[in-house]
A and B are shown apart, each in its own frame.
Chain A
């Protein structure tokens, strides 16, 4: 690791309190470009809160967040998305009455231009210029995640696994530098989990850094370059999959004190 390379995401001393309760406490997290970084921990450890903080959904009570060296603490989610950080949601949040294709097309919003005047200037009924490019890219992405023939289906009509894939496609449409995946394989069968893992790996190879939180341990161990373990809002361990597997604090957090002994 060269010292001059700025981490893609850096959370410094991040704290988020809800009344008296600290969901996240003095968290430090550094995600390096070109890696798959996993954030794991028991339920209630603060993983989703971290996601919410990093994407601007929640403002931190204390601390700083930097993306590519730019301080984005307190920014709204749309600005953060434009800077290249996009996320998916634990309970998939698609646009239900829009088709799968439209869901992905709208994902391209922050990478395209053109407001009402541009809409008026279109040739009625025909997609040209940026519209055509958007559609093409959307179709490509649908194919990439394995939804090639389901573009015209309404998002609400898709099966859960397909919905998760669609959400990833929509996130990819925004050309993210950093993709945050919040429990992306929950509810998938082993074949689907494996396919998802392959997809994440190839995305990373092509240049998208991934921060993933998951309970599916074998997937996490198989694809992650670095794992950060959280409990009670704090970081309790960090390292490669092998290191984390053996860490006694991690075992305690998940399995209780006897397991570590």
Chain B
């Protein structure tokens, strides 16, 4: 396949990674926490979206909306139950993260109970067209994925730069203490952040389902790690870095499958993680965190 086609495919794939990575990085920015249940939130969004489609026969819009809403709900729930109670106490500095590992396990098994442990097909109710643009082939599914992802990223950008609430989010991410003194209710901002982060992940779940035509309760682990790698690549806490990081990982993955053995495909994200940590821990675009102790 032509290289440009690979890159396009990679961007399509990477767009979903970006949505997940944005979620990770938003949470990290505001709480300095690596939210290891985020991948499971993504997975739950995918399944709920599927259920809605199956039950109502609705189309892509219905699936995406349901996924976003339910994922946001689950995400906020995870925060309230597994993260908030811990932050109040002075424990091991990694206690919140460890707790999210636990929350992720619970979510994963609950999903297995309710939706079965197998991969299930993801029917896409939409007209299938194929476009050819200057040597590149695009399916309508891919276009939808691209449009939705880019649209959401743009919306997020506008939100955090133009709206009051969005700016409050940025302020809280910079310094919770200072924003508190400015009257910003950090608790609400945190919940909003989780809602947005999780909602985006839920949408990504539906997009990935459409893209691969199947979802499984274990996809959260896999995508979770890739989203994590994208976040690291872009710099912890850096939303725009996460967007680009996701695209880069998607492109690298597609190209590596094309030119190297496909069974190493999943390992690429891990190599990226390790390479970033070793050589540029601040990420390519800079992190909001003090990486070196």
User: Do A and B touch, yes or no (CB under 8 Å, in the complex)?
Assistant: no
